Each structure stands twice: as structure tokens, then as C-alpha cells.
Amino acid sequence: MRRYLPKTLVLETEVESDAGAVSVTDALASGPNPDGHSLCSSPPRVLVRRIECIRGEVEVTVEHRPRPEYGLVVPLLTCEPGAVRARGGPTRVMLSLPWPAHVADGAATATGRLRMGDVLLVGVEVGALTEPPSPCGLSRRSSTCWTRP
């Protein structure tokens, strides 16, 4: 099932398996907007994905394969606690997540288990290389990344 939450641009998707089910909510965080009449007064900065296990226990895999410059560039991926940074062309992309990620072949992959009631928050921020990158702050606990041979 896929639907927009009422009166929002927030997309909710439910995915089921034999072992359980998750609710995936996607939204663009656009930052503060003191004038409620100005839709998107600042451009979206962070795509936020919230994955909640609503039944049973499920294995979730997050795959991050950024391709700036309309897919012409395979960026350099580097890991740090709670984040994977991608640099390619004039663009930087930051993935924030609480699970350790493996980096290989221009992609970062992280896998973990969610039990009923568990919530995973993942954020992707895009910006210019001239802007200082920082993790989205979505990770509730520190995590590590490592490179897969």
C-alpha cells in the first residue's frame, strides 16, 4: 500500500513479508519557514526516510548508490561514525544512518534487523562541495563504517 498522508507531501508505503511488515515514510525536510504562505521558501535539503517495523521481525537493507552529474560521476565514498560521505564533481552527498555500512563498487550498503516497534531513521543530504557537510543528526547511537574488500 502506498499513499500520501492527508494534506501533506509525505509518502507512506507499507511492505509485507512472511516474517513481518514495515511502514516506510519519506519526506523532504526544507528547513525553517517563518512565512507559512511561502511553499518551499528554501529548497529541500534532506530526504528523510523513517522505517518502522509494524509486525513481526524483518531484515532491512539500505543501499546508497549516489550518482551526481546525472549519473556521469561515480563518487568517492568515505565512512565515518553514523554517516557515509560521497564526493563527486561539484556535489557532495551525505547519508546518515545508525548501522555500519559496507562500501564497495561505488555503493554503501547497511543491513540490520527491526522488531515490532523498532524505528530506523535514514537521511540523505545533498549540497555543494563549498558548503560544510555534517551528518543529519538522525542517528540515535554511534555507528561505524568499514570498506568491504
Which CATH number fits the domain that encloses residue 24? Answer: 2.70.98.50
Domain assignment of residue 39, yes or no: no
Structural domain harbouring 8: 2-30+44-147
Domain assignment of residue 48, yes or no: yes
Domain assignment of residue 110, yes or no: yes
Please give the chain's pLDDT, 149 residues, in tens: 999 999 888 999 999 999 999 999 999 876 666 565 555 555 557 899 999 999 999 999 999 999 988 889 899 999 988 999 998 888 888 999 999 999 999 999 999 999 999 999 999 988 887 776 554 545 433 344 443 33
Radius of gyration of the chain (CA): 16
Whether the CB-CB separation of 94 and 136 falls below 8 Å is answered with: yes
Total domains, the chain? 1
Domain assignment of residue 117, yes or no: yes
Nearest C-alpha neighbor of 94 from the set 79, 109, 113, 115? 79
Domain assignment of residue 37, yes or no: no
